[in-house]
Amino acid sequence: MSGGTRAELKNPFRNGTTHILFSPLDFLSKLAALVPRPRHNLVRYHGVFAPNSTLRKLIIPKSTKRVRGKENSKPDKMSEFEEAVSRNELVAPLTWAQRLKRVFNIDITLCPRCGGTMRVIADITNPDIIQKILDHIEAQPPPLSPATAIQS
């Protein structure tokens, strides 16, 4: 038989068969049976976990309270977060400042000069305004550092 597809079995059958030979049409029909139907979930729940079960609301945890992470990192804030997660409460997404700290280890809430806490007072997203600010910064001369004596 030419033009067939040979499939090797992971474990041989009891009769010693180690390979199966399919015709092209038979192979495609077996393969098509494995493809899920479009727009249907691959996981289906039955019984009390089914979406329309009247008992589902009795076993699924209720989560209505939202907890939002604070920008100030204090030890008690982390324990509040852990308690909220353990109570199955919804957690709001991180702020962009928290994401910067988590991903790039940049903490924009700390002042680079004194180490004090800073807070966000504006979020500028308009490209024209951003360009004006950048043009203004480039027009300004860089700040001069105090002169130091060079010893030779």
pLDDT digits (tens, 9 = 90+) for 91-138: 567 887 888 888 888 888 888 888 888 888 888 888 899 889 888 888
Q: Are 19 and 9 in contact (CB under 8 A)?
A: yes
Residue 118, token pair as written in the block = 């800073």
How many structural domains comprise the chain? 2
Give the number of residues written for the chain: 152
Q: Is residue 56 part of a domain?
A: no
DSSP classification of residue 6: E
Q: Is residue 45 part of a domain?
A: no
User: Which whole number is the average pLDDT over 73-88?
Assistant: 56
Range of the domain at 25: 5-34
Residue 135, token pair as written in the block = 């043009």
Residue 48 has pLDDT above 70, yes or no: yes
Q: Is residue 25 part of a domain?
A: yes
Q: Is residue 9 part of a domain?
A: yes
Do 74 and 24 fall into the same domain?
Answer: no
| Dist CA 17 CA 2 (whole Å) | 20
